[in-house]
Amino acid sequence: MDRERRIYKKLFAVLSSLFFVVILAFFGVISFLDVDATVSESENRKLAEKPEFSFSALFGGTYTQDFENYYSDTFPMREEFMQLSNKITSFLTRFGGKEDNVIISYDKQDSDFVGEGVELTTEKSENENETENQETEKVTEKATKKPEKTTKKKTEDKGSVKGSILISGKRALEIFTGSASMSKSYASLVNKTASSMPGNVKFYNMLVPTAAEFYSGETYSSGVHSQKNIIKSSYSQMNKNIVTVDAYSRLEKETKEYIYFRTDHHWTARGAYLGYLAFCEASGNEPVPIDELETGKIKDFVGSLYNASNADVLKKNPDYVEYFKTRVDVDAQVYSDSRMQNGQKVFVVARAVNSDNKYLAFIGGDQPLERIVTSNKNGKKILVIKESYGNALVPFLCDNYEEVYVVDPRKTNFDLSSFVENQSIGEVLMINYAFAMSNETYKNALISMLK
Amino acid sequence: MVFSSLLFLCIFFPAVLILYHLCPFLKGKNAILLLASLVFYAWGEPKWIVVMLLTTFIDYLAGVVIGKAKSNGVRKLALALSVVVTLGFLVVFKYLNFFTANLNLILPFDIPETNLVLPIGISFYTFQALSYVIDVYRKDVDYQKNYFNLLLYVSMFPQLIAGPIVRYVDVANEIAFRKVHFTDFSDGITKFLIGLTKKAVFANFVGKLAENYLAGDMESLTLLGAWIGIVAYFFQIYFDFSGYSDMAIGIGRMLGFNFRENFNYPYVSLSITDFWRRWHMSLSSFFRDYVYIPLGGNRRFQLRNMFVVWLLTGFWHGASWNFVLWGLYYFVMLMLEKYVYGKALEKLPKIFRHIYSIFIVIIGWVFFYFEDMSSMGKMFGTMFGINDFALYSPADITTLTNNIFLLGICVIAVTPFMKNISSGVYRRLEKTPNGVIVNGVMTFAFQAAVLVLCAACLVGSTYNPFLYFRF
C-alpha cells in the first residue's frame, strides 16, 4: 500500500512538473511564431512595436524595457486573457456595480490627462477623401518625439495623479472631492499670481466645473463632491482686485446641451462658449454670436476617460468634437519660451485631427507658449494662463483681441510678469477646471514662473 | 527582469528549467544557472553588473586569504578590507546622493552630486557577500575555493533582486551537491504560484486601490479615504514582498535549493516584537547576527545596540529620511514593549493584542510610504482628524463597497487559515484509500487554475510595479 502510494505521489509530481514546464514553453514558442497584432481594439490604443536593437538603448536600459512592453503587448491569445482579466477585475473591484454605481480608479499618467510627450506638427493638406476638394486644416500628432526643448525643468514633474471614474449610463464622470485647504491654496495661488503682475493689468480668474457636477446625481455632486461650493469658497478668498468669472451659472442652465464630452474629461467648444460669454460679461467685451461662426464636426472621439476606465459602453458610444472657426483672421505661432524664437505655426481651430485625442483640434493642444495675432486692430492684448481646459475657450477670445497669448505653465518656464510688461499686455485671464485646484504639478509650475 | 513579467514566465524561466534539468552533471547545472543568473541581472542592469562581479571577486579573495592565513592579524586585515570595500560600493551607489544633498542644505558651498542610479538588488547581494566573508572569518563555514561557485551564490537569480537574503552556510552544501526530486519540483511550483498570485493578483489590485488614495492629491483626501488607502497599502506591501520571497523559494526548490522562509504570517502577530520575528526574517536575522550580537547584544549597551540596529534597518530600506524615521519608530515601539507595557500587553485577550499590533504596523507604513515629509504630515493630520478634512465622501463608500471582495479575501489571505485548511484536508485524504489520487488531481488542478489566473492578470495589468528599487 505504502509503495503504491509513493508511486502515485511521484506520478502526479512528474505530471504536474512536466505540464508546468511544457505549458510555459509552449506559450514561449508560440509567442515568437504567431503574427503580432498591432492595434488593441478593446483598449483603443496602438500596441508596442518590436524595439530596434542598439547598444546605447541596451545600456541605457530602454531596450529591455521596450522589449518587455512589446512582448506583453503581443502575447498569444492576448484578447482572451484580457477578457478573463476584466472578469477578475470586475469580480474583485466592482462589487455592487450596477451601471451607475461603479467607481474605477485610474492613473492619469497612463492616459494623456496631462497632455505630455505630444508634439504637434501642423500641415495644410489636400484631403483626398473630401469631395469638395476643400483645403483641410489638420493636426497631426507625433507621439514619439519629445516636446520641443523648453528651458529645462518640466521633466521632473512626473507627479502621478490618481482618481476615480464613475460610469453613469453612456457617460464617464471623474469624481471630484474638495476640501477647505484646496480652495484656500488655490485662492492664494491666484492672489500671488495676480499681485506679481504689473500694476495696471486687469486680472480675471475663471474656475470651470466638470461634468460630474451636473450629470453624476446628487450623491456625487453634493457635500465634499460639490464643485459649486468649492468654487464659491475659493472666489471669496481672492483679493478684491481680481475679477472672478461666473462660468458655473451659465453651464448649469445649459446642461441639456452637448457642453461636456461623455468619454473625455474636457468640456466641448459649446461648453467653452458659455465660459466665454461669462468672461465677456465680466470684462465688458461684446461676445461674438455663436450662430455667426462657421462650424463642423470631427467624428469618433473616444477620449481620456475611456482610456482610463476601459468601459465598453464608452467605446460603443463615441463623442464628436464640434468646432467653431474664428470670425476674424488669425495667425498662431508656438514658442518654447518668452524669447519667442523659431515659432511653429498651429491652427487655432483645426477641421481634422490625425490622432485619437481629437481635443487637440483647439489651439494645437497643450503648448508652452502661443501667440495668436488676429486681424482686429483694437490694440487689446490678453494673456491666458491655463491647463487644457482653456484650449477650447481661447478661439472665441480671438474675436475681441488683437493679440492673444496662451501659456501652459507645465510646459515652459519664464518670468511671467516681465513678459506681460514687455509685451504690454493689458489683461490676464487665468482659467482652470476644478481639478486643477489641487494639481500640484500645475500649481508648482505656475509658482516657479512668478518672480 | 522580474518574476511577474510574461517574458520571464514564458521565455526565460522554461528555457532555464529545461536546459538545467536536461544537463546530466552538476558542474554543467551550476554553469547554466550562473549564466542564466547573469543574463537575468544584466537584462535589468546591463551596466552595473560589473559592481556585482567585482564585489564578489573581492570577497572571494578575502575569503581565500582568511581561510588560508595562520596569523590573526592577516585574517582581521582581510576581513576589514573586504567589509570596507563591499559596504563602500553600497554607500557610494545608495547613500552618496542622500549625504551630499543633505550636506548641501547645511554647507555654504555645494558639493557636486553624483546622481548615480541605484543598481537593482545591490542591498541584497551586498549583504549576502558580507555574510559569506564574516562567516568564513568566524570559521562557521569553509571558504569557497572556486570564484564561480561564490558568484553563483551571490548572483543566483531567484533571490538576487528582492531577497530573501540567503546565507552562504545554508547553501554551501547544495552548491557542491544537490538532487531534485519530482516531488520537490512540484512543491516548488505550488510555492512559486502562490507567490505569483500574491503579487499578480492581490498586490497589484490592492496596490492600485492604495495609489488611488495615497498618490493622489492630499487635499482631496477624506479621513475614511486616508484609512482605506493605508490599509490597502498595508496589504499591498505584504503580498508584494512575501510574494517575491515565495517565488524565490519556489524557484529555489525547483532547482534543488532549500531557502529558508522569509515571512511567517506577520499580520497575525500578537506584538511588535512578534511582528519582527515574522516579517522579512532574513533581514532581521542578518542584523541580529552581524550587528546586534557583535555590538554586545543584550549583555551590554542593549539600548544603544537596539538603536543602531533599527537605525540601520530603516536606512537599509532606502536613502531617505522617512525610512530612518520608520526604523526609529520601531525602535521606540520595541523599547516600549520591552520596558513599559510588554508584560501588561501579554495579559490582554488575544484579540486586543492583534488589533494593537496591526494598528502599530499600519501607522508604520505611513512613515514608509511617504518620502516627502509634508505629505506625510498631511496624511497623519487627515488620519487622526487634525486637518481641515471631511470624514468621508459618498465616493469613498462606493469604492469601499466595490472592493469589498478584494479586501475580504486579503484579510483571509494574510492569515494561515487557507494553509491550515488545505494541509488539513491533504493530510486527511492521504490516509484514505484513493486519497493520494484525489490529492494529486487537486494539486494539479490548483496549479493549472492559478497559472491561468496569474497569466490573465499579468496580460491585463496596467499596474505591475517593482517596489524594491530603493532597497
Residue-wise pLDDT for B443-465, tens only, equals 999 999 999 999 999 888 767 77
Query: Residue B459: which of A23, A75, A103 has the nearest Cβ?
Result: A75
CB-CB neighbors (< 8 A) of B439 in chain A:
12
Whether residue B2 is predicted with pLDDT greater than 90 in this model: the reply is no
Residues 4-23 of A with CB under 8 A from B: 5, 8-17, 19-21, 23
- Average pLDDT estimate for B138-161: 93
Nearest by CB to B401, which of A15, A28, A96? A96
A-chain residue closest to B254, CA distance: A17
- Which amino acid type is present at position A330? V
Cell (9 digits) for A247: 462660468
Is the minimum CB–CB distance between B116 and chain A shorter than 8 Å? Answer: no
- The span from the CA of B372 to the CA of B356, in Å, is 27
Which sign, positive or negative, has the C-alpha torsion B147, B150, B156, B159? Answer: negative
How far apart CA B69 and CA B59 sit, in angstroms, is 15
Residue with cell 482653456: A390
- For residue B188, pLDDT over 60 is answered with yes
C-alpha distances (whole Å) from A135 to each of A323, A351, A375, B236, B264 are: 16, 10, 21, 55, 70
Q: Does A216 touch chain B (CB under 8 A)?
A: no
Task: Say which of B213, B395, B401 has its CB closest to residue A220.
Answer: B395
Within 8 A by CB and 6+ apart from A225, the residues are A175, A176, A177, A178, A212, A216, A219, B393, B394, B395
Find, in chain A, the residue whose alpha carbon is nearest to that of B391. A224
* DSSP assignment letter at B174: H
The DSSP 8-state label assigned to residue B385 in this structure reads T
Local confidence band at B276 (pLDDT 50, 70, 90 cut-offs): very high
Rounded Cα distance between B8 and B372, Å, is 34
State the number of CA atoms in the 13 A half-sphere of B369 facing the CB: 28
Q: Are strands A102-107 and A45-46 parallel, antiparallel or unpaired?
A: unpaired
* Min Cα–Cα distance to chain A from B393, Å: 6
Our CA-based measurement puts residue B195 at a distance from the nearest CA of chain A, in whole angstroms, of: 15
Identity of the residue numbered A391: N
Q: Where are the alpha helices (DSSP H) in B348-383?
A: 350-369, 373-383
Specify which residues A371 forms β-bridges with: A333, A405
Q: Do B452 and A97 touch (CB under 8 A)?
A: no
DSSP per-residue string spanning A287-305: PPPGGGS-EEEEEEE--HH
CA A158 to chain CA centroid, Å, is: 15
Q: Does B455 touch chain A (CB under 8 A)?
A: yes
The closest CB to that of A13, out of B186, B393, B404, belongs to B186
Task: Report the chain A residue with the minimal C-alpha distance to residue B457.
Answer: A85
- Best probe of the B interface among A179, A185, A186, by most B CBs < 10 A, is A179
More confident call, A284 vs B435:
A284
A56 touches chain B (CB under 8 A): no
Angle, helix B122-137 to helix B49-68, in steps of 10 degrees? 10
CB of A70 within 8 Å of a chain B CB? The answer is no
**Model pLDDT, residue A127:** 36
pLDDT of residue A60: 72
Residue B119: is the preceding peptide bond cis (ω within 30°)? no
Residue with cell 502575447: A75
Which chain B residue is nearest to residue A441, measuring alpha carbons?
Answer: B217
The answer, for B417 touching chain A at a CB cutoff of 8 Å, is: no
Q: What is the pLDDT of residue B44?
A: 82
Exposure string (b/e) for B373-388, b if CB count within 10 Å is 16 or more?
Answer: eebbebbbbbbeeebe
- pTM of this structure: 0.80
Q: What ipTM was assigned to the predicted interfaces of this complex?
A: 0.85
- Take residue B399 and report the three cell numbers written for it: 469604492
pLDDT value for A98: 53
Could you tell me the CA-to-CA distances from A225 to A179, B278, B287, B377 in Å, in that order? 9, 42, 49, 24
Crossing angle of helices A2-33/B182-197, nearest 10°? Answer: 50
Please write the tens of the pLDDT for every residue from B297-353: 888 888 999 999 999 999 999 989 999 999 999 999 999 999 999 899 999 999 999
User: Which of B6, B182, B404 is the closest to A10 by Cβ?
Assistant: B182
Query: What confidence score (pLDDT) does residue A107 get?
Result: 54
Model confidence at B364: pLDDT above 90: yes
Which chain B positions have a beta carbon within 8 Å of A78's beta carbon?
A: 459
Which of A359, A331, A358, A365 lies closest to A345, judged by CA?
Answer: A331
Strand ordering across the sheet containing A381-386? A242-245, A202-208, A427-433, A381-386, A403-407, A369-374, A330-335, A344-346
Residues of chain B contacting residue A185, judged by C-beta atoms under 8 Å apart? 219
pLDDT at A155: 31
Instruction: Give buried/exposed letters for B106-115 (b at 16+ CB in 10 A, else e).
Output: eeeeeeeeee
**Below-70 pLDDT ranges, chain A:** 1, 36-37, 40-45, 96-163
Is B181 known to be catalytic?
no
Please, what's the largest Cα pairwise distance for chain B?
81
Work out the number of other CB atoms within 10 angstroms of the CB of residue A326. Answer: 21
Q: In degrees, to the nearest 5, what angle opens at C-alpha A108 toward C-alphas A105 and A114?
A: 155
Annotated catalytic residue: which of B21, B181, B280, B317? B317
CA distance B144 to B148: 9
Q: Are strands A381-386 and A403-407 parallel, antiparallel or unpaired?
A: parallel
Task: Yes or no: say if B122 and B94 are a contact pair by the CB < 8 Å rule.
Answer: yes
What is the DSSP-derived secondary structure letter of residue B91? I
